Structure 1
Amino acid sequence: MEAVPARARGYVAAVAVLALLCLLPLPAIRTPWWALGLLCALYTACEYAVRRRFGSTFHPVLLAGAFLLPPPAAALVPLAAALLCPVEHRPALLRRVWRAARPALAVWGAAEVHWTLGGRDAVVASDFPYALLPAGAAVLAFCLILTVLDGGILAMGVGAPPTPFGQWGRVPLRRAWRGLLSRSLAPVAVHGLAGLMMAVLWRSPYGPVAALLVLLPMWVSWWIFAQYHRERAAHQATIRALVQAVDIKDGYTRGHSERVGQASVLIARELGMDDDRVEVLRFAGILHDVGKLGVPTRLLRKEGPLTPEERRIIELHPEYGHEMVRGISFLGEARAAILHHHERLDGSGYPYGLIGTQIPECARVVAVADAFDAMTSTRSYRRARPVETAVAELERCAGTQFDPRMVAALIRVLGRQGWHPTVTADEPAHKAASRDRVAGTGTPR
């Protein structure tokens, strides 16, 4: 096993020291030890169950501690879970230290903000909606601290939060914190609301037993969320299996499919499509050439010119692909993109010779992404064309082969963030050349 980088060990040690400093005022404050012990036990039980079943973390009890306890006491709530819950991978000690220090700092910060804004009095008095203001600020502080810590561990060269040390390779500083806050804010806000309800019921005449009832609907929602992610993982596995099968049969698509999916996403987002359609376009780009599984390998690898009959067989691959994915319901309109991505606006494309808006919008997106990547990818027989050259070719063919709106969207997004295509795996030049020639995925003409 590869050792954890020394810089990462130092980073975890520094975070642990900061967490210990948060506990220094503890002897000088009045702490309801029975409440702290009950919250520690409850958080440990929830963390054990959630990690074992869902592989994730459960924040409502932590945030309830931030709303109920003084900040130094709240920082102790995750300690028992870090010590008692099983650690799946080595180094176990470093993982336990991180699991204790990371949430301790976050819940301490949330408690400090909550108490500073008078949240404790609002919870005791069940003063709504005023109680929502300090609670919301505390949740934001909780998310910000987790974001800072998780971005730091990524920058130090270990895996993705909240369970680090899973992947290796240092993330550049400019990317380490990208997207962490936006991804965590919504789910943690829901957990914060549940934690606030726990705290209010805890302080009510009904006591801690009533507060526990909040966890039941949270557990159900967590289970539904986990089921969604399992289903999504199954979808991804299905797509990976199909793409790998095509890669084995036709080496040209190795890396090409993923890049077409990326370019399709860029175009879809630039056009303002919603997230669901963007995801569908990603699937469409990745799977657009899956129909090559139905084409005889000898034709894909033929060195000489194709006969008219062989070309007609090659041009059946969009229909083969559509038949292969017809029963995969989650692909949605991606199936139409797979079928029609070789159609042209002037009607000279295949398989059906559709014209203009008869071609589904998603297919028009994938057609531009496909041709763009074919021109800007390095092959063993030629270097990649510059992006400017590819853009000029797309503009030249806009209105005849490609939808001008899709071309313009790609050009705008390239102007803002550029394009960095992955180099395709090496293969014999004559094979790659025959792919571009027979499959229609080379320079648009």
Structure 2
Amino acid sequence: MRLFKAILLLMLVVSIVPTLMVGWLSVSHTRELLVRDAQELAQERVKQLRLKAEDFLGEPAETVLGLARVPGFFQLSKEAQQTHLASVLTQRREVVALTVFGPDRQRLPGLQAFSKHDVPPTALAGHEERARALLEGIDGLRYSDAVQEADGGELVVTLAFPVGEPAQGYIAADLSLGSLRQMLEQERVGSTGFVYLTDRHGHLVVGGVAGLGVDVSARSPVAHLLRQLERNPDTELFHVGNFGEGRDAVVAAYTVLPEAGWAIVSEQPVAHAYLQVGTMERRILLGLGGAILVAAVLAALFSRNLTRPLKGFTQGALELARGKFGVEVDVPQKNELGELAQTFNYMSKQLLAYDMENRGLYESLEKGYLETIVALANSIDSKDAYTRGHSQRVGDVAVQIGRELNLTERELRQLQYGGILHDIGKIGIVESILCKQSRLTDQEMAIMREHPAIGDAIIGPVSFLGAVRACVRHHHERWDGTGYPDRLKGEDIPLLARIVACADTFDACTSTRPYQKAMPLEKAMEILDNLSGAQLDPQVVTALRAVLAKQGVRLEGHRLPVKLAS
């Protein structure tokens, strides 16, 4: 049904009615864009003003805070402390007063400095009063509300902060807001807009609407700001939008200076902020005539773009059927085909994720199996110091032989398990026989020869080791049929068991045992050649010789110190 609507739309595109609809949509969309642009402009304006205001407050505040970083400030002599205070006043002209208080929040005699020589008593008293008010419950940098000094003096704000942890004392400073006031008063928002700075109570600090302290909380943007602060006092607020109604409607943006708790507000009447909207609407209407001519071309392109993606879907489906998960179809259209492509790509990615997850789970499970198998083999080898590591080595050599015989990865894995577990049945042999240092008696040998059957019984209930049972049960069968426990002969012996038998014999020859020392590789291979066709499969012995040759071992002369790769 939706495809039918798309084809119907294609027919309507060549007519005048849809073109007019597109024009109307374009006008609506352009209006939204221009409104958004105007709001973004207001947003960017307050962002820049906030950065400037933070610099106006932050740079002198950072200079004053530098006193807290003076090593042992309160242990310095009074002359040295006065020198530091004077240095701050010299570095930053915005700092107009400095006072140092002791840990009891009482002013320290002689540790007060002003940028002016003649400070009226009222200004001095006001500075100390604001500083003491800030020291109540202070645990970091705090700012007071902005005040106008008596007799038309400077617009200042007081900051205070503790020094040391716990506090060894406190420092308070008055910062002049003259430069900040000048900057905001010079800021223009179009021909009729303005910006201003309010404190946390909705009272004007500086700006273009009135004087200091005037209550502007009733202005729509400020009222909205105060409501937001009441709900989320610790949130860093930022907002832009239309406020008010009728003639009082404005496009405004505000943001909060977090440390001082002040807000910068930008206002501009809606009629002036959106002046370009009407202009652009007229231009778009003039372009509708040309859009009618373009409609016919769009119809042809639409038809082409409708059928082209189908080839991509077909090819992608075939790739998925072949197991190539993760393949994607590139359909940039924003229609039903585009949605279908997104769904197809999502499905393909999900299949890839599931495949990778399953592979990881399988590998993790297989690793756990192998670790368990190695632990079982180690429990056998630990009973006899001379055979420690024997099972692991047999598994490694068996895998090398199997790789030389071009066995599959599954068969190589079974060889690894079979080599490690081939002597698992020795768990059931008493240690007096298993660890005996001298030659076994016939009766003891008969008991020892029971270990393949015991091992087969042990791993029999473990389903995933079913293919490994042949290695455990038949690794002592002989090529000539005289082995045990089943006296199998020749190729009746499973291939994996024949490989493990060869690897077992090879490791027995090249390892030190109670009854023999480790043999050189030449001697070991000479013994295996003699056993070939009698005890061992000739083809397997030949494969072992090829493995040694690939490892760089020359059996005709001396052998190199090369270890078989695992």
TM-score (norm 1): 0.49
Structure ID, larger Rg = 2
Normalized per residue, the structure richer in strand is 2
User: If each structure's helix is expressed as a fraction of its own residues, which one has the higher value?
Assistant: 1
